[in-house]
Structure 1
Amino acid sequence: MTTFALVGAGPGLGLATARRFGTAGHTVALISRNAQRLDDLATELARDGIQARGFTADVLDIESLDSALYAAGATLGPVEILQYSPVPRADFMKPILDTGADDLDDPLAFSVKGPVTCVNAVLPGMCELGRGTLLFVNGSSAVRPHPDRAGTSIAFAGESAYARMLHDALAPENIHVAQLIVPGAIRPDAEHSSPEALAQRLYDIHHKRDGFRHYSEPLPD
């Protein structure tokens, strides 16, 4: 049995994707800063017969993130699928003219150093398995920079470039890398951007392995 590792576990999209991959037969590693939330999510998934366990880590703390993913693979089974979808902090989204160099430290750590740490932690196991999937979830500023959300626009662009290079470099290793852009808010009543619809879309991307960038719905004009 292989593991679906979710970085940025929460009660919305995180729970929905954990349930979707868990019902497909994967064990689930839930990773976030909030230990109580992780326990609650694991308990809820267990009611559906899904084996899940929480691992506490902060994506801004490389050592904790690396340790969490190592522990997940060691205790639940090798990580075959990694989803990186933590929610950026509100203070990452200053207007461009109010953004100084120091304001970019945390956004870049969050959206570039965090993904690099995660990939380096799980890649050896995927190579040993002979297969794997790396899923990156971003908002529209990853492809259309927004002047009022400078930190995430700059950092998401870096994450996108990193993921795109991985897509090309890892294809010969049977490791699929893909990005899902969610243009608007994730809402329970949204046809294409509800947690359940996005979870199914991410599972389909993993299963079909067709291309790098996907959109939950078209970008607004």
Structure 2
Amino acid sequence: MSIVIVGAGPNLGAAVARRFGREGLAVGLVARNAEKLEALAGELTADGLTADYAAADIRDAEALSAAIGSLADTLGPVEVLEYSPLPAKAFMKPILETTVDDVRGPLEFSVLGAVAATTTVIGPMLERGSGTILFTTGGAAINPYPLRAGVGISFAGEVAYARMLHDEVAERGVHVAHTAIGGRIAPGADHEPDDVADLLWRLHVERSGFQTRIGID
């Protein structure tokens, strides 16, 4: 069985990979930069974990689905999907300056990407009657900020999608959860990556509730 981390990077993605990998799950990494993914996969392998990667632009739904599918073929069925790509700064314009084109990118990133990733793994999960899908976003999902309009809009859509999934599949063995985190996730920053990874592991194991808020009033 495996975990696929969409939006894998050196902070939260790496911490989640190590936390779930230590529990025996093979680790699949997805992001756009193949060179960085290769380096992270090499570090995980050197630590004794089973890891592989597939580069894809999250805004390209077909490429994202293909990347996840290839990792499932290589590493085994996806037991956990962690969807936590870091939005681009270009998605964070003030609301009065935000145009249709400015919203399109965030929606592709947070909503269409989330749907593409989920639809790739949800069928096998439902057939097995087991699996976890974890959506992790910034605090704008709860408290939208008018100076960062794109993510406020797109995170809201992502959470609505996640909540509907949770309600639909909870009785069929698949747990869907959303974690909203206010502040930066990095060593020495607002939230330590390892602490967030521990929380996500608990959400996977305990399988209770839909939404968790960290650093949000």
State whether residues 198 and 216 of structure 1, in contact with CA within 8 Å, keep that contact through their aligned partners in structure 2.
no
TM-score normalised by length of structure 1 = 0.96
Shift of 1:187: 2.9
Normalization by structure 2: what TM-score? Answer: 0.97
Structure 2 CA distance for aligned equivalents of residues 190 and 95 of structure 1: 25
AA aligned to 2:211 is R
Aligned to 2:180: 181
Equivalent in the alignment of 2:120: 121
Match of 1:62 in 2: 61
Q: Which residue of 2 aligns with 1:162?
A: 161
The RMSD of aligned alpha carbons is 1.0
Task: Tell me how far 1:162 sits from its aligned partner.
Answer: 0.3
Q: Give the counterpart letter for 1:207 in structure 2.
A: V
Q: How many residues align?
A: 217
Aligned to 1:18: 17
User: Which residue of structure 2 lines up, in the alignment, with residue 88 of structure 1?
Assistant: 87
1:22-171 to structure 2, matched below 5 A, reads 22-171=21-170
Work out whether residues 12 and 186 of structure 2, in 8 Å CA contact, stay in contact via their aligned partners in 1.
no
Partner Cα separation in structure 2 for residue 71 and residue 122 of structure 1: 12
Aligned 8 A contact 1:6 1:85 in 2: yes
Secondary structure at 2:146's aligned position in 1? coil
- Give the counterpart letter for 1:8 in structure 2: G
Alpha-carbon separation, structure 1, partners of 2:41 and 2:99:
40
**Which residue of structure 2 lines up, in the alignment, with residue 195 of structure 1?**
193
1:190 is displaced (CA, Å) by 4.9
**Residue aligned with 2:79, SS:** strand
Per the alignment, residue 216 of structure 1 pairs with: 214
CA distance in 2 between counterparts of 1:103 and 1:14 reads: 26
Deviation at 1:129, TM superposition (A): 2.2
Q: Is the 8 A contact 1:9 1:15 kept in 2?
A: yes
| Distance (Å, rounded) in 2 between the aligned partners of 1:39 and 1:85 | 19
Q: Does the Cα contact within 8 Å between 1:60 and 1:114 map onto a contact in 2?
A: yes
Which consecutive residues of structure 1, in runs of 5 or more, have no partner in the other structure? none
Cα distance in 2 between the residues matched to 1:19 and 1:129: 25
Q: Work out the percentage of aligned pairs sharing the same amino acid.
A: 47
Moved over 4 A (4+): none
Deviation digits for residues 109-155 of structure 1 (CA, Å, limit 9, x no counterpart): 11110000001000112122220100001111101110001000000
Task: For 1:169 and 1:95, locate their aligned partners in 2 and report how far apart those are by CA, in whole Å.
Answer: 35
Residue in structure 2 matched with residue 172 of structure 1 by the alignment: 171
What is the distance in 2 between the residues matched to 1:90 and 1:190? 18
State the alpha-carbon separation in 1 of the partners of residues 132 and 163 from structure 2.
13
Work out whether residues 4 and 81 of structure 1, in 8 Å CA contact, stay in contact via their aligned partners in 2: yes
Q: CA deviation at 1:186?
A: 1.1
- The code of the aligned residue for 1:204 comes to R
